[in-house]
C-alpha cells in the first residue's frame, strides 16, 4: 500500500489529525526522521485547522515538492561513440542485476547495448553478469580475474565503439562508501573513461536498495564526491521496504531517481514516476 493510501486509511477514522501518527507513517517509509518532522511542521504551519482530508492533499503537495518528477531521459545515442553509463553502489544493492535490466530495457527500445563486467573482485561476479548477458542476448566484455576495473572499462569502450553500439553499461564491484581506496578506484574508472571521450561517462548511476535506512544519504554523498552521480536506481521495491531514502537523497543532494527495480527478473524494471511511486510503492 502506498503512502497516500495509508494516510487515507489512517485518517479516515477521525476528523482530527493525529500528528504523531502522521509522523510515524512518514518515518516508516525511511525518508528519515528530520524530513518527516519538517513535513509535519510544514503541514501544521498551514495555520488553519487542518482536517484529515486536507492532510492528504497537503501531504501530497509537500512530498511531491521534495520529489520533482524526474523523467529526465538518458542521453540519446550519437554517432561519435557509445553513451557510457557507469553503475556504482555499496555491496549487494542490485548493481549487476540492474545493469542487465537496464541493458534489456534499452535494447527493447531498439538500441544496441554492450555490457562491461568491471567487477573483477567478487567471487563469480563476472559469471553472474555473463549469465544475464547470455539470457538477454547482450554482448559483454570482461577482463582477466582481478584485472584492473579501469582497464576493463577502457577495453569495453573500445569494443562498444568498434561495434557502433549506442550504449555501454559498466557494472562495478560493490564497495562501502567509507573505504577511501575503493572510492579512489572508482574515480580512476571515471577518469579512464574520460580519456577516450571526454564527455564520458555520460551517466553515473547509484544503485540504492529500498530496504536501506538513513545510511543511504551518506552513501549518496560519498559516491557523489567520488564520481559525480547523475541519477539513482532504487531496487527491491517489490519488498516491504518503501525506499523513502530516495526522497531524502533528492531533498539533500538533488540527485533524481531514474529507474526502479521491482523483482529479480529482467522485466521487473521501469522508469521512475514520482507520483506513482508515492501513491503506490512508498
Partner 1 sequence: MFNQLSDKLEGVFKNLRGQGKLSERNIKDAMTEVRLALLEADVDYSVARDFISSVRDEAMGEKVLKSVTPGQQIVKIFRDKLAELLGGDQAPLELTPPARILMVGLNGAGKTTTSAKLALRLKKEGRRPLLVACDLFRPAAIDQLETLAREIDVPVFTPDRDEKNVIKVAKQALKWAETQNGTVMIFDTAGRQEIDDALIRELEDLQKFLQAKEVLLVADSATGQQAVNVAKRFDEAVGISGIVLTKLDGDARGGAALSMRSVTGKPIKFSGVGEKIADFEAFVPDRLADRMLGMGDVVGLVEKA
Q: Is 96 annotated as a binding residue?
A: yes
Q: Interface mask (CB under 5 A) for Mg ion, residues 190-229, using x and -?
A: ----------------------------------------
Query: C-alpha cell of 230?
Result: 547523475
Q: Is 94 annotated as a binding residue?
A: yes
Least Å distance between CB 173 and ligand GTP? 6
Task: Give the nearer residue to partner 1 in terms of CB position, either 32 or 256.
Answer: 32
DSSP 173: -
User: Which listed residue (83, 95, 175, 224) binds Mg ion by CB under 5 A?
Assistant: 95
131 binds, among partner 1, Mg ion, ligand GTP, none (CB under 5 to 8 A by kind): partner 1
What CA–CA distances, in Å, run from 131 to 106, 140, 270?
Answer: 18, 10, 21
Task: Give the nearer residue to Mg ion in terms of CB position, either 166 or 171.
Answer: 171
Least Å distance between CB 201 and partner 1? 24
**51 touches ligand GTP by CB under 6 A:** no
SS3 270: strand
Of 74, 54, 138, 46, the residue nearest 100 (C-alpha): 138
Least Å distance between CB 130 and ligand GTP? 13
Task: Give the nearer residue to ligand GTP in terms of CB position, either 11 or 223.
Answer: 223
Q: How many CA atoms lie within 13 A of 102 on its CB side?
A: 33
Residue span binding ligand GTP (CB under 6 A) among the ranges 20-28, 62-70, 161-169, 258-266: 258-266
How far is residue 61's CA from residue 184's CA, in Å, rounded to a whole number? 40
Element (H, E) at 274: helix 274-276
Is 50 within 8 Å of 17 (Cβ atoms)?
yes
Q: Is 244 annotated as a binding residue?
A: no
How far is residue 141's CA from residue 159's CA, in Å, rounded to a whole number? 8
Task: Give the nearer residue to ligand GTP in terms of CB position, either 82 or 94.
Answer: 94
How far is residue 90's CA from residue 92's CA, in Å, rounded to a whole number? 7
Q: Is 78 annotated as a binding residue?
A: no
What CA–CA distances, in Å, run from 218 to 9, 18, 63, 130?
Answer: 33, 31, 21, 31
Least Å distance between CB 104 and partner 1? 13
**120 touches ligand GTP by CB under 6 A:** no
Q: How many CA atoms lie within 13 A of 172 on its CB side?
A: 28
Residue with cell 557510457: 84
262 binds, among partner 1, ligand GTP, Mg ion, none (CB under 5 to 8 A by kind): ligand GTP
Residue with cell 529526465: 72
Q: Interface mask (CB under 6 A) for ligand GTP, residues 70-109, using x and -?
A: -------------------x-xxxxxxx------------
Beta bridge partners of 270: 260
Q: Could you tell me how many residues of this chain bind Mg ion (CB under 5 A)?
A: 2
192 binds, among partner 1, ligand GTP, Mg ion, none (CB under 5 to 8 A by kind): none
Binding-site residues for GTP, please? Answer: 89-96, 171-175, 235-238
Binding-site residues, please? Answer: 89-96, 171-175, 235-238
Amino acid at each position: 500500500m502506498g503512502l497516500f493510501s495509508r494516510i487515507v486509511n489512517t485518517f479516515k477514522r477521525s476528523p482530527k489529525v493525529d500528528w504523531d501518527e502522521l509522523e510515524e507513517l512518514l518515518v516508516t517509509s525511511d525518508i528519515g526522521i528530520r524530513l518527516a518532522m519538517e513535513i509535519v511542521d510544514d503541514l501544521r504551519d498551514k495555520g488553519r485547522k487542518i482536517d484529515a482530508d486536507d492532510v492528504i492533499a497537503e501531504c501530497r503537495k509537500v512530498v511531491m515538492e521534495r520529489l520533482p518528477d524526474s523523467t529526465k531521459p538518458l542521453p540519446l545515442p550519437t554517432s561519435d561513440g557509445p553513451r557510457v553509463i557507469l553503475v556504482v553502489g555499496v555491496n549487494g544493492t542490485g548493481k549487476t542485476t540492474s545493469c542487465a535490466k537496464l541493458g534489456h530495457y534499452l535494447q527493447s527500445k531498439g538500441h544496441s547495448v554492450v555490457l562491461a563486467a568491471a567487477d573483477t573482485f567478487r567471487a563469480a561476479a563476472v559469471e553472474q553478469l555473463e549469465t544475464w548477458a547470455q539470457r538477454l542476448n547482450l554482448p559483454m566484455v570482461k577482463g582477466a580475474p582481478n584485472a584492473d576495473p579501469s582497464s576493463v572499462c577502457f577495453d569495453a569502450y573500445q569494443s562498444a565503439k568498434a561495434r557502433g553500439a549506442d550504449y555501454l553499461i559498466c557494472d562495478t564491484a560493490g564497495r562501502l562508501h567509507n573505504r577511501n581506496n575503493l572510492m579512489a578506484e572508482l574515480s580512476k574508472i571515471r577518469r579512464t573513461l574520460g580519456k577516450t571521450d571526454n564527455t564520458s561517462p555520460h551517466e553515473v548511476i547509484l544503485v540504492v536498495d529500498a530496504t536501506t535506512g538513513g545510511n543511504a544519504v551518506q552513501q549518496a554523498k560519498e559516491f557523489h564526491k567520488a564520481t559525480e552521480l547523475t541519477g539513482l536506481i532504487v531496487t527491491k521495491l517489490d519488498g516491504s521496504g518503501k525506499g523513502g531514502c530516495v526522497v531524502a537523497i533528492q531533498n539533500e543532494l538533488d540527485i533524481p531517481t531514474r529507474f526502479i527495480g521491482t523483482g529479480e527478473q529482467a522485466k521487473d524494471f521501469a522508469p521512475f514516476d514520482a507520483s506513482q511511486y508515492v501513491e503506490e510503492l512508498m
